[in-house]
Structure 1
Amino acid sequence: MCLPAAVYAKTIMILGDSISAGYGLQPQQGWVTQLQQRLNQQYPKKHQVVNASVSGETSSGALARLPRLLQTYKPHIVVIELGGNDGLRGQPPQILQQNLGKLVSLSQQSQATVILLGMKIPPNYGQAYTQAFEKTYLSVSQQYKVKYLPFFMKGIAGHPQLMQKDLIHPNAQAQSILLNNAYPYIQQALHAKP
């Protein structure tokens, strides 16, 4: 008989921008709150989710905040959902790649398992920029050997009925899709030994 792998109590920190901060939503509607609810159902009283996301956050801003966050919360898992604002500002992809790499490295140095949620941006800046932007996530995931979800907004982007009026931020209806996109990666990390 095969017993399921033990699940160790873990703190999961979400380091993101407006998509994870729940911009334009009631606090209880966001995917991060839904993540805590799902974990409570599946693993009662085991896991704590810390939402360290800030609307408008860039990879540089998150990098400035991360050391204190790691010290304060000592997360076992860090989920990085950043880059959209870097892309919308036309930041060079090399800078995003450097910053994401440092975010991953700092998290790993504090013994956290890292999950990288990839982003794509509209083709406003041309195909070369768009491709270079998307490739940063793959490059960082390979360099630091972290799990990465190629596109966190899969199944939402391009569907106006799942977006707020600004067509940038997912609406309340889309939050369960975001959770379902990220959850297999988070659940896998929960089963890893501390």
Structure 2
Amino acid sequence: MLLLLTCWVMPLRADTILILGDSLSASYGMNEDIGWVNLLRAKMPEHKIINAAVSGETSAGGLRRLPALLDSDKPQLVFVELGANDGLRGFPIEQLKNNLTKIITLAKESGARVLLSEVMVPPNYGPRYAKAFNQVFQTLAKEQNVPLVPFFMTDIAPHPELMQADGLHPNEAAQEQISDFMLPWLTPSSAKGSAVPATGSH
């Protein structure tokens, strides 16, 4: 699947990175120490990475929590990984788009840069809903001029050995792969900043 082509130049340092996500980033079903966000901390010691992901979180929940997080943590970069629970509960597409739009706007107004994660729902929700759901993220990336990070579960979900028994969450064996996938999106490579990787095919 061809993913949205996006290019973004980051500064040399993003001292504080806020992960605003759900169970996929919250180490669901395992110790937080072995989750992909904590593994990134060891790979990015010059950065402060705040994991504000909460299992079961929806876009509405993330929106409610964001103002306090921006005020207390003052991140330079916000990675938004939300929407899966909206999709699993069959929430209206427009509601998801509105919530994510407000999240991106709030983060930008605080002075933070934003990375938006693509999110997909299982095909059993029907091709019409799945297509409309997936399109939200590509549309938002264009409208808000923010980079769209390919969904990190795309290369993990097809492999049972990397998934928990529920078939929805990555297991311990997948965490290193996710952290390696996310690292170049969050790490500048030169004193002048660098173009964040933004292409891919799966």
State the aligned residue count: 183
Higher helix share: 1
Q: 1:124 to 1:9 in 2, by over 3 A?
A: closer
- The question of whether the paired residues in 1 share the 8 Å contact of 2:11 and 2:188 is answered with no
1:125 shift after superposition: 1.9
1:152 shift after superposition: 2.1
1:136 shift after superposition: 0.6
Q: 1:129 to 1:170 in 2, by over 3 A?
A: same
Report the equivalent of 1:19: 24
* Comparing 60-69 and 116-125, the one that deviates more: 116-125
With structure 1 as the length reference, what TM-score do the two structures score? 0.89
The equivalent position to 2:41 in structure 1, one of 36, 45, 50, is: 36
Report the equivalent of 2:62: 62
Report the equivalent of 1:151: 151
Report the equivalent of 1:43: none
Report the equivalent of 1:97: 97
- The question of whether the paired residues in 2 share the 8 Å contact of 1:117 and 1:182 is answered with no
Report the equivalent of 2:4: none
Bigger relative contact order, structure 1 or 2, given CA contacts below 8 A and separation 6+?
A: 2
DSSP 3-state at the match of 1:21 = coil
Q: Give the Cα separation in 1 of the matches to 2:22 and 2:15.
A: 22
Look up the equivalent residue of 2:85 and give its one-letter code.
Answer: N
Q: 1:107 to 1:6 in 2, by over 3 A?
A: closer
Deviations 1:104-157 (A, max 9, x none): 110000010100111111112210100011011111111111111132212101
- The question of whether the paired residues in 1 share the 8 Å contact of 2:14 and 2:77 is answered with no
Deviations 1:9-42 (A, max 9, x none): 51000000011110011121100001111002xx
Moved over 3 A (4+): 188-192
Sequence identity percentage: 44
- How big is the alpha-carbon RMSD for the aligned residues of Structure 1 and Structure 2? 1.8
Deviations 1:57-77 (A, max 9, x none): 000001000000000000000
DSSP 3-state at the match of 1:53 = coil
With structure 2 as the length reference, what TM-score do the two structures score? 0.86
1:180 shift after superposition: 2.3
Report the equivalent of 1:108: 108
- The question of whether the paired residues in 2 share the 8 Å contact of 1:58 and 1:86 is answered with yes
- Consecutive unaligned residues in structure 1, runs of 5 or more: 41-45
DSSP 3-state at the match of 1:34 = helix
- The question of whether the paired residues in 1 share the 8 Å contact of 2:87 and 2:121 is answered with yes
Q: 1:188 to 1:90 in 2, by over 3 A?
A: farther
- The question of whether the paired residues in 2 share the 8 Å contact of 1:39 and 1:47 is answered with yes
